[in-house]
Structures are given as structure tokens and as C-alpha cells.
Structure 1
Amino acid sequence: MSQFSTCAADTALSSSTYTHDFTTDGFDDDNWNITAGNVTTTSSGALFTIKESGDAPTIRSKWYIFFGRVSFIMRSSPGTGIVSSAILLSDDLDELDWEFLGGEADVAQTNYFGKGESSTTNREVDVAASGSQTTSHNYTIVWKKDSTEWLVDGVVLRTLTADDAVSGGNSYPQTPMDVRVGIWAGGDSSNAEGTIEWAGGDTDYSQGPFEMVLEKVEVVNDNPGSSYTYGDTSGDADSIDVGDEDATTSASSQSSSTKTSTASGSAAGSTETATATQSGMWWTTSAEALVSKSQSEGNQVSVQVTCFAIVLSTLLALL
């Protein structure tokens, strides 16, 4: 059972749409936090680069959505053990994933988790993503109350219904989620053996740098407002209260915009760099990371922690 009614309310995307083109508008620091490493923007887009062990550049939206559509126009990174990720994640550990392994250039992994439940291994489905490391494609998640679709360049390649989710509807993602994009080395030698195996093998940093490119993000929020509040501990969509707000009050910071981060340049096409402190890191490759992924003899585990105290108490209660 979910235990998140005591978490602070989530900031909602107050407008029904948000679009940002990193190739022309630089980094939009009104809408994104850089939670690990550094992200550089050029005319190619937002560049996420791994040069050495410990690098894991990541961005996270400053708002959540409650059902809708998110498109990532991006190019994944090559490199054994390198993982490019574009996901939606809730405080209640509901999750929808696009993940790309650097050793599999023509495959994208789709996955989901509900309430952090990760004891089963039949949620992942691999779909075709031809030339994902050399050509930008549109990877879209259409998330509705009763079903989710994963699309590549507008073509639906996977559909998940709430009824078909593992353990039934309760494990179907249905609580407000933020948006996170990043790259990390699952093949780093500091990771667990299962993580390295899942990522495709040991990462050889001498073959780098390894680079993922995010050109554009497009978002449709089905339930815009000021905030999302958990009304009880069920973790059900019906328990979420959407705070009302005139969407125009913050549309200037949550719509298509030309924003630049604290950077070395602000003109379109210039190089901009923003760096996060380690205390804000979300993706890391250590075993104690906020995100850890392991796969040993077919058992993949994914745990994300965002509402720290509540999650910890929940896990302890289950032991």
C-alpha cells in the first residue's frame, strides 16, 4: 500500500502544454533542475556527456504532470555499459521508462513500475529503435488513467492497460510524475555484478567520451493546476487532489520559451554549461544511489526514492 499522503504537495505543470527546443533556445532553467553532473547546450541540443567514472549528467523537471503525453526527441549514446534514460517518476514510485543500452544500437527498452514493486521480471518490453545512436527519433509516452502507449516516431510499439499491469491495477502507474532525462554508466566497475550484466558489460572510459543528445521535449498535461496532493495512502489516481490555479499566472515560465542557464553564452547555438552540486544528484552509478538497477539471472530490480523518509519507513515496515 502506498504511504505517501504525508509528502509535500507536488508542484503541477500549470499549463496544459510545455515545449522546449534545446537546439535553438539553450537550457531552460525556469523549468529544469540539473541534478547531477553538467549539461552543455549547443546547436545540436542538450549534451549529456560521460568522460570518467562517476559522471552521470541528469535533468529533472521542476513540475509534475498527472496523465498526458511526453515526447523526447533525442539520440542515445553508444558505449558498452552506458545507459541513456528518459523517464517519468512519481513520489509514490510509479514509473514509466525509455532506456537505451549503449551496446544495443537498434533497441529501446520500455518498462514500468507501480509503487516501487519490482519483484517480478516481466514488465520490460524491448522495441525497435533503428539507428538510435546516430539518428534522432521521437520517443513518446502517452500516459492515461487506463492505459499507456510507447511510440517511436509516432508509431505505437507497445500498449499497457491498467488491467494487464502486474498484480492488476494497483501496480499501474497512476500518481503525478515528473520528467527526468540523463545518462549513466551501468557498466562502471563500482556497480554490482548484476547491474553491469544488465547494462551490457564493463564500461571502458578510454573509449569515450560518451554522449547523449536531447534536442526537444514536448509535454501535454491532462490535468494542469497549481499542485497535486495525495489525499490518502492508497496511491490511486482518484485520491489525487488537483489544486486550482489560473493557468495564465505561470504560463510564461511553463511554455515554449527562450531561456538560458548560467552559462558561457546566451545566443542560440552558443555553448552553455550548467553544473549541479552533488547534493542534488538523482542518477548515480553507486550501489547506494537513488536509482539502482540490477539484473542477475533474469531478475531486474529498479528502485527510485524521492520522498525519502516515507519510503524508508515503508521499506523498514516490510522487512
Structure 2
Amino acid sequence: MFKLSRLIPTFLLVLYGDCSAIPNDISDPGRLVSTRISGNNTIIVRDKCVPEYKICSEKMFNFTDTSAVKSFTIDYCPKNVVQDKNSLDLVITQECGTALIYPQKIKYGKVEGRIKIAPGPGAVTAMILIGEEQRDEIDFEWVGKDLVNAQSMFFINGSAVVSGADFHQIPNKSDTDMSKEFHNYSIELTENSVKWGIDGVIVRTLEKESDGTFPSKANTLRFGVWNGSGSSDWAGVMNFTNGNPSGYFEFIKITQYC
């Protein structure tokens, strides 16, 4: 029995309700969700059965501010981290790529990056969550030989649970070249799900089925670029005759849940 409901044309608005009355296909209770249930009626639920995650910290690192990079550890090849007035430019040379690490652990939360990927066969751009002890991993990666697809992957202690990646184009802009303009990419890890997003649209959701198939220990943010020629079937082979490709990061935003 709903405590408060209001029937309006084509919509049923439920502010507080009995958990048993909520349709089973609402996969993310605690947030505003919408699903068609019958005829022309759509139910919109603000469900109090499962609370939203509380935000305990939210940090924006805008790389138009030259001091923002100081919040990260450069893992290798610091000369390939170039600051300009618009973004952080990460360069792939014949010697190496580069990667940055956020030093604070992220148990549950959301990481977002505004990114323009490195173009060309062999060039790999990445934003990942990875465990330092148990090598659970959640990836967003882009290979420069395929400029219209982002790839989402996950690993459990270094091993793939499913083979290959899922591929995602820019929502509502298929065949967009991701090396030509910036787009927002996100990874959200909670106790029971992982969600990958592009420009605010969830493009993939992984629901937890068991501890052995869910990357719950992926707790460190890394982002960077690297030469993927060693995995040429996947990434292609680098050719430096046209110069050194770069991936560009305009900002990184980290939201930690309590």
C-alpha cells in the first residue's frame, strides 16, 4: 500500500512505497529510475527501500590549473607528462608512454575523466581502477586504430572472467572520432555493481553475482597512454614517422562513497 501516490496522465509518481510494489526490473533502487510497465503508463520510483550511497568526498582536478597534476603520482616517464593551458597532454614516444596514479584508495565511488584519446595504430589510452594487492581491474581503454569505440573490460585478480571487451560508441553520435574532441567517461564501483558511462549515459552495467566474478578490490585509479604494439592483434603497431601521438585529459573527478 503506497503512502503517497499521484496519478497523472501516462505517469504514476511514487514517492514512498512498499518494496514489494516496486517492479523487479528496476535494477538500481535508491535512485530516480523509470521503466514502462503496462500500456501507456510509466512508473517513476523514488524508492526508500535501499538508500543512496552517501558521498563522503568529491574532488575535481581540472588540468587547466597547473597545480592539479601534483595530486597524482607519475608512475613512469615523467617527461611525457606535458601541461598546457587547456589540458594534461600524455605523450607516447618510442621509449615509453606514461601513467598517473591517484594515491588515495577508492573502495566505492565514481571516477570521471574528460578525455581526447591518442590516435593511430598501436596507441592505447586508458582510465582504469586496479587493485594493488589483489589485481582486480576495471577498465576503460581506447586503441588508436579504432577511433569510434571505447572498450570496457574487467579482470579478477589479473584473469579475465569473460573473453574480450564490450564496445561502446558515443551515445546518439555513432561513428564519432574520439580523438577529435573531448568526451566524459566514467567508471562507478559500488558493493553490487560496476557501471561504465559516456557523456552521462550508462553504456554497460555489471551486476555482482558472486565474489569470485566481481572486481571488488579494484581500488586505485590509474590513467595514461602506452604503446600497445606488443598486442598488435588488439591495438595495432605504432609508426612514429608522423610524430608522437598524445592523449589529452581535461579533468579527472573522483567521488568517494561512504
TM-score by length of 2: 0.72
Q: Extract unaligned runs of 5+ from structure 2.
A: 1-55, 171-175
Counterpart of 2:242? 207
Counterpart of 1:156? 202
Distance 1:142 1:119 in 2: 19
- Shift of the 119–20 alpha-carbon distance from structure 1 to 2, 3 Å rule, reads closer
Contact 2:191–2:216 at 8 Å: present in 1 too? yes
Select the residue among 203, 216, 233 that pairs with 1:197.
Answer: 233
Question: Which runs of structure 2 are paired with 1:172-191 in the superposition (5 Å)?
Answer: 172-175=214-217, 177-187=219-229, 191=230
Higher strand share: 2
Q: Does 1:42 align with 2:84?
A: yes
Contact 2:155–2:161 at 8 Å: present in 1 too? no
Select the residue among 92, 114, 117 that pairs with 2:156.
Answer: 114
**What amino acid maps onto 2:234 in structure 1?**
W
Per-residue CA distance 1:24-46 (angstroms, 9 max, x = gap): 344431x2111111311111211
Q: Which has the higher contact order (CA 8 A, sep 6+)?
A: 1
Q: What is the Cα deviation at residue 119 of structure 1?
A: 6.5
Distance 1:55 1:180 in 2: 16
Select the residue among 164, 181, 189 that pairs with 1:143.
Answer: 189
The percentage of aligned residue pairs carrying the same residue is 24
Distance 2:160 2:193 in 1: 20
Counterpart of 1:278? none
Give the aligned CA root-mean-square deviation in angstroms: 1.7
**What amino acid maps onto 1:206 in structure 2?**
T
Distance 2:131 2:103 in 1: 13
Contact 2:109–2:257 at 8 Å: present in 1 too? yes
**What amino acid maps onto 2:202 in structure 1?**
V
- Shift of the 179–134 alpha-carbon distance from structure 1 to 2, 3 Å rule, reads same
Q: Secondary structure at 1:133's aligned position in 2?
A: coil
- Shift of the 181–217 alpha-carbon distance from structure 1 to 2, 3 Å rule, reads same
Counterpart of 1:216? 251
Distance 1:26 1:214 in 2: 14
Q: What is the Cα deviation at residue 118 of structure 1?
A: 2.8
Greater C-alpha radius of gyration: 2
Q: How many pairs are equivalent?
A: 196
Select the residue among 29, 32, 35 that pairs with 2:72.
Answer: 32
Question: Which runs of structure 2 are paired with 1:23-102 in the superposition (5 Å)?
Answer: 23-29=64-70, 31-37=71-77, 38=79, 39-51=81-93, 53-91=94-132, 92-102=134-144
Q: Extract unaligned runs of 5+ from structure 1.
A: 1-14, 224-319
TM-score by length of 1: 0.59
